Amino acid sequence: MSSTTTAPATRRRRGGLNKGETGAGWLFVSPAIVIVGVFLVAPILLALWVSFTNWNGRFSPINNPRVDFVGMENYAKITTEDGLIQQLFGRSIRNNVYYVLLVVPLQTALALFLAIQVNRRMLKAKSFFRTAFYFPSVTSSIAITGVFMFLFQASGVVNAVLGWFSIHGPNWFADPSGVLHKILGWFGLSSAPAGWEKPGFLGVSTWDWLGGPSVAQCVLIIMAVFTTSGTFMLLFLAGLQNIGSEVGEAAVMDGATGWKTFWHVTLPMLKPTLFTVLTLGLIGTWQVFDQVYLTRGTPAAATLTSPAYLAYDQAFSSNRPGVAAAIAFVLFLIIIVMTLLQRFVLADRDPSGYGRDRKAKKKAKGATS
């Protein structure tokens, strides 16, 4: 960072740019600025404005006497004001929290595992496996959702296979019960303890917060892991190939076993890739929409809604663009906070020189020299 701030000074000293060139520079970047402005900055600002108004979707949201500025009212509706919208939002957050908690670690672990497998020098038909693992990522999520809904029908393929092992599979997309609730049920705790059934944080009761993903959502979780791990496998594969074989050889010379090499040498060196994968995973899972949209008619649909889908629904089915925009911005904040948090956690134990540790290291260096 510090090097970029000093750059203009160096340039001026060299006297490289004159006025004409500055103009030309602006001329060349102007198409990009206009495109980014019109298609990115302006819509975001407009959405921010809409989130503070009571606009009902009719006529323009700006310069319209029917549109009033209502301050934080839309935000209050989804967060603090008791009511149905708050409950819907609370439930969508709850659903998405479980989705993120399961999908992100699973897809990261699976992607890393696959990458290591296809990176082996001894592996035959490498490109076949690479293509095979990557294939689900190329296919449209819409098509895969369709196939999954078909596979997980009450009398579908999955339940038929489970039937071979004498397991009576659930009616997947029709089962809204939480997995954790089910497990607690085996231990005789089938209903909420006293006081736990009352509306709690965001209008969702403590008991429901602890319900775990619904059986129906488990299908979506499996599907997300299945479809995205291929993409992340490619990222890990690139990271692994960057490391080079001599590092591994050196570790072996030092007497490290396979597992130790992975844990103490390979994984730390993969940290930048890991950071990228986790960040992309977090953003992707918090924005889950396609699958939810396609399964909206299923009986357990309520346990599948995500904030992104709720925003769509509020905007287009309920004519509440203000509430929808507010949801979108809360979601944006959640993603920012999650990414910062994850950056903080990863950087803290970062031996590779990325993130927070770098400053500390510099200081340490300065002290010794």
Which position among 317, 365, 366, 368 is part of the footprint of other proteins (CB under 8 A)? 317
- The distance of Cα 263 from the centroid of its chain, to the nearest Å, equals 25
Q: Does 298 bind other proteins (CB under 8 A)?
A: yes
Smallest gap from residue 225 Cβ to other proteins (A) = 25
Which position among 105, 163, 299, 353 is part of the footprint of other proteins (CB under 8 A)? 299
How many C-beta atoms surround the C-beta of residue 331 within 10 A? 20
How many residues of this chain bind other proteins (CB under 8 A)?
32
Instruction: Find the part of the chain contacting other proteins (CB under 8 A) among 200-208, 257-265, 270-278, 295-303.
Output: 295-303
Which position among 3, 6, 18, 60 is part of the footprint of other proteins (CB under 8 A)? 60
8 A C-beta contact, residue 200 and residue 230: no
Calpha distance 28→44 (Å, rounded):
24
Calpha distance 273→268 (Å, rounded):
10
| Residues 114-138 as b or e (16 or more Cβ within 10 Å = b) | bbbebbeeeeeeeeebbeebbebbe
Q: Does 56 bind other proteins (CB under 8 A)?
A: yes
Instruction: Find the part of the chain contacting other proteins (CB under 8 A) among 9-17, 56-64, 110-118, 218-226.
Output: 56-64
Instruction: Find the part of the chain contacting other proteins (CB under 8 A) among 10-18, 232-240, 281-289, 300-308.
Output: 300-308
Smallest gap from residue 299 Cβ to other proteins (A) = 5
Of 59 and 344, CB closest to other proteins: 59
Q: Does 88 bind other proteins (CB under 8 A)?
A: yes
Q: Does 59 bind other proteins (CB under 8 A)?
A: yes
Calpha distance 229→113 (Å, rounded):
10
How many C-beta atoms surround the C-beta of residue 253 within 10 A? 8
Q: Does 315 bind other proteins (CB under 8 A)?
A: yes
Of 131 and 318, CB closest to other proteins: 318
Mark out the alpha helices in 120-244 (DSSP H runs). 126-138, 141-151, 157-164, 179-186, 206-209, 215-243
Q: Does 58 bind other proteins (CB under 8 A)?
A: yes
8 A C-beta contact, residue 77 and residue 203: no
Of 214 and 261, CB closest to other proteins: 214
CA angle, 142 then 144 then 149, to 5°: 95
Q: Does 218 bind other proteins (CB under 8 A)?
A: no
**Contact string (CB under 8 A) for other proteins, positions 67-86, x = contact:** ----------------xxx-
8 A C-beta contact, residue 118 and residue 127: no
Cα-based distances in Å from 53 to 81, 90, 312, 319 = 17, 22, 17, 13
How many C-beta atoms surround the C-beta of residue 178 within 10 A? 23
Q: Does 321 bind other proteins (CB under 8 A)?
A: yes
Instruction: Find the part of the chain contacting other proteins (CB under 8 A) among 96-104, 152-160, 333-341, 346-354.
Output: 152-160
Calpha distance 325→308 (Å, rounded):
10
Cα Rg of the chain, angstroms:
26
Q: Does 248 bind other proteins (CB under 8 A)?
A: no
Of 255 and 297, CB closest to other proteins: 297
Interface residues with other proteins (CB under 8 A) are 56-61, 66, 83-85, 87-88, 153-156, 171, 173-174, 176, 297-302, 315-319, 321
